[in-house]
């Protein structure tokens, strides 16, 4: 080396706000590798978050309902909003409807048993729910069984009954018939049957509604539109398959503030602009259908539960592999090549999705993150998902310079049957209905934005950093050390570092260690206080300015003919168990000479 060459090379990262880039080569981005991982990103993140620019463990999850005695197939869940009280969860399991009072004491009640044994077919794989005014509409999903209505008005007026369904053409007692996906929009309940869709009466119809419910129960009836009263519906205009979801968005450009109804099939998405007034609605016929237009032809959605409203947009899991798409982004780039998904960074997980099970995917919006389930597997009670893909919108939540949202790898730890979220007096809460392999039962867990542990257990999380090149991919190097700067340390935190040279596929062990910071006075080493059973004051979080790893252990790499600590680039993976934040990392290496004709092909 020239005399002016540095004795030690340093490569570093001080910001990770861009999230994961699991779709790229693992080399860090340089002039020599322009398509590599950005310097403010990582290759992959497990159970972690990059919000704020540092790397932190995701917040903890806690169980709310165990040992509920639920038996049968999990068919679906819904967050029921109430007029004058906080919401709670209703679940369809084995053909019975249950409610869980997550608003109060997490009590479980069998509503089917309470109201005279009103049940649905116990083996139907998927139920559909919608809320129209204060009424929950529960469809079995078999297109045969009449739905069940359930209502709750602040626990004062409560009832449950089965719909009359379609009685006869123009019969004044016609109610919502057996159907699949539903949505309450434009003042009426929309429902889909196969390739067709239609809606019931507009709210507060004085003819079909009753005074006891202030005529809001008119939404359960089907007496206004001649297409609906004839047992027919509007049909999607192309052969794109059965309707998978009906969803609406907000639309501030409309005179009445009403949005379009978006009709999702697996292959395409359509928009329906229905009449707003009752007069125009009753005039809509098969010969004079509402305006329908094709919105997207290169991808609809797999699952009704995966379509998540985010402000004026809809995010959803789409073919071919459960890729996440945005309706707004797709429309914005409609004239460009390809109507593409927005989740390429998550391909490490998405490429392994079993497409035959993606119909049961679900998603929700919580803590300014889109959460979408992935990696489905069959369980004894239905399809569960081993991974949750988080898209963090924190980067767009500012009046200063905005950047695109960042993908954060995946969360794991629960086998999720369905995700839910709700507003509890201004406090946002999220829940997961899960299948517990350990306990062999269906449970409900809460996904918090404050806890540091999962049910009292430390969370294990993992960071896969980019492969560092020290600015020169042509220079052979010897890996010497790795330095970590950490803060927000609380309790015991265990670390395990691994590394690999160049494009070697396997991870090699480097070092394992742990650090501790007392959470309260009971954990002090010199003079611990006694546990009195009362809450103790939580200590401040600690930090470590640097934690420096020694030289890595060396093994022989037969494929390269070099020792494992000699290479052109090196990648580090850090597995952490416990609560802390990684602020920056620095990798050190020494330049090495390369022998002429090293690795020559014979």
Instruction: Identify the pLDDT of residue 402.
Output: 78
Strand ranges (E), 404-470:
406-407, 416-424, 427-436, 441-447, 453-454, 457-458, 460-468
Residue 39 lies in a domain: yes
β-pairing, 61-65 with 148-153?
A: unpaired
Residue 294 lies in a domain: no
pLDDT, one tens digit per residue, over 548-601 is 999 999 999 888 889 999 999 999 999 999 999 999 999 999 999 887 777 777
Instruction: Identify the pLDDT of residue 453.
Output: 94
The average pLDDT across 437-445 equals 96
pLDDT, one tens digit per residue, over 285-304 is 666 667 778 888 878 899 99
Instruction: Identify the pLDDT of residue 458.
Output: 94
Residue 547 lies in a domain: yes
The enclosing domain of 21 has a CATH number of: 2.60.120
Q: Quick one: which of 446, 408, 458 has its CA closest to 50? A: 408
Greater pLDDT, 153 or 500: 500
Instruction: Identify the pLDDT of residue 1.
Output: 46
Q: How many domains does the chain have?
A: 1
Alpha-carbon dihedral 411, 414, 418, 424, rounded to 10 degrees: -80
Residue 465 lies in a domain: yes
pLDDT, one tens digit per residue, over 81-122 is 998 899 999 999 999 999 999 999 999 999 999 999 999 999
Q: Residue 506, exposed/middle/buried by CB under 10 A (0-12, 13-18, 19+)?
A: exposed
Residue 485 lies in a domain: yes
d(CA 444, CA 483): 40
Residue 557 lies in a domain: yes
412: pLDDT strictly greater than 80: yes
Q: For the chain, what percent of residues have pLDDT higher than 90? A: 71
Residue 398 lies in a domain: no
Tell me the pLDDT of the chain averaged across its residues: 90
d(CA 279, CA 305): 33
254: pLDDT strictly greater than 80: no
pLDDT, one tens digit per residue, over 219-228 is 999 999 888 8
Residue 257: pLDDT band (50, 70, 90) is very low
256: pLDDT strictly greater than 50: no
13: pLDDT strictly greater than 50: yes
pLDDT, one tens digit per residue, over 308-346 is 999 888 999 999 899 999 988 776 665 565 567 899 999
Instruction: Identify the pLDDT of residue 337.
Output: 57
Provide the domain limits for residue 582: 9-47+460-591
Instruction: Identify the pLDDT of residue 6.
Output: 59
pLDDT, one tens digit per residue, over 230-239 is 888 888 877 7
Residue 145 lies in a domain: no
């Amino acid at each position: 080396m020239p005399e002016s060459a540095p004795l030690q090379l340093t490569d570093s990262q001080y910001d990770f706000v861009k999230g994961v880039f699991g779709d790229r080569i693992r080399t860090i981005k340089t002039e020599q590798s322009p398509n590599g991982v950005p310097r403010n990103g990582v290759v992959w993140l497990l159970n972690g978050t990059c919000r704020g620019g540092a790397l932190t463990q995701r917040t903890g999850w806690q169980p709310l309902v165990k040992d509920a005695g639920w038996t049968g197939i999990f068919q679906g869940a819904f967050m029921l909003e109430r007029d004058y009280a906080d919401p709670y969860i209703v679940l369809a399991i084995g053909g019975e409807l249950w409610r869980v009072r997550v608003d109060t004491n997490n009590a479980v009640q069998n509503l089917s048993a309470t109201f005279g044994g009103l049940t649905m077919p116990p083996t139907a794989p998927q139920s559909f729910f919608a809320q129209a005014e204060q009424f929950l509409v529960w469809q079995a999903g078999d297109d045969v069984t009449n739905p069940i209505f359930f209502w709750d008005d602040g626990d004062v007026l409560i009832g449950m009954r089965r719909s009359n369904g379609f009685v006869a053409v123009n019969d004044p007692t016609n109610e919502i018939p057996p159907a699949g996906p539903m949505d309450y929009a434009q003042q009426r309940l929309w429902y889909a049957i196969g390739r067709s869709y239609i809606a019931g009466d507009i709210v507060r119809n004085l003819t079909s509604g009753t005074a006891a419910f202030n005529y809001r129960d008119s939404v359960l009836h089907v007496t206004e539109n001649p297409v609906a009263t004839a047992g027919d519906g509007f049909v999607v205009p192309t052969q794109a398959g059965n309707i998978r979801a009906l969803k609406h968005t907000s639309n501030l450009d409309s005179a009445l503030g009403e949005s379009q109804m978006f009709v999702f099939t697996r292959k395409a998405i359509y928009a329906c602009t229905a009449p707003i007034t009752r007069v125009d609605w009753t005039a809509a016929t098969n010969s004079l259908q509402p305006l329908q237009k094709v919105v997207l032809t290169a991808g609809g959605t797999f699952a009704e539960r995966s379509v998540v409203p985010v402000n004026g947009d809809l995010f959803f899991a789409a073919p071919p592999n459960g890729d996440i798409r945005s309706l707004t982004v797709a429309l914005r780039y409609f004239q460009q090549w390809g109507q593409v998904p927005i989740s390429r960074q998550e391909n490490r997980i998405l490429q392994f999705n079993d497409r035959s099970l993606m119909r049961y995917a679900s998603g929700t919006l919580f803590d300014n993150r889109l959460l979408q389930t992935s990696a489905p597997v069959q369980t004894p009670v239905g399809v569960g998902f081993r991974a949750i893909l988080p898209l963090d919108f924190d980067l767009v939540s500012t009046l200063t310079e905005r950047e695109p949202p960042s993908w954060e790898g995946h969360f794991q730890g629960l086998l999720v049957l369905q995700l839910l979220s709700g507003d509890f007096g201004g406090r946002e809460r999220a829940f997961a209905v899960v299948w517990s392999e350990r306990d062999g039962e269906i449970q409900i867990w809460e996904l918090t934005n404050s806890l540091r542990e999962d049910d009292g257990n430390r969370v294990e999380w993992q960071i896969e950093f980019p492969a560092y090149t020290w600015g020169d991919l042509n220079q052979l190097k010897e890996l010497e050390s790795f330095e970590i700067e950490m803060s927000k340390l609380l309790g015991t935190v265990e670390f395990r570092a691994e590394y690999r040279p160049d494009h070697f596929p396997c991870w090699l062990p480097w070092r394992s260690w742990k650090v501790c910071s007392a959470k309260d006075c009971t954990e002090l080493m010199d003079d611990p206080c006694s546990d009195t059973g009362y809450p103790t004051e939580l200590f401040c979080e600690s930090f470590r300015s640097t934690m420096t790893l020694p030289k890595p252990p060396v093994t022989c790499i037969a494929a390269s003919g070099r020792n494992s600590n000699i290479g052109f680039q090196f990648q580090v993976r850090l597995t952490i168990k416990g609560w802390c934040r990684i602020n920056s990392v620095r990798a050190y290496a020494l330049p090495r000479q390369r022998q002429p004709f090293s690795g020559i092909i014979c």
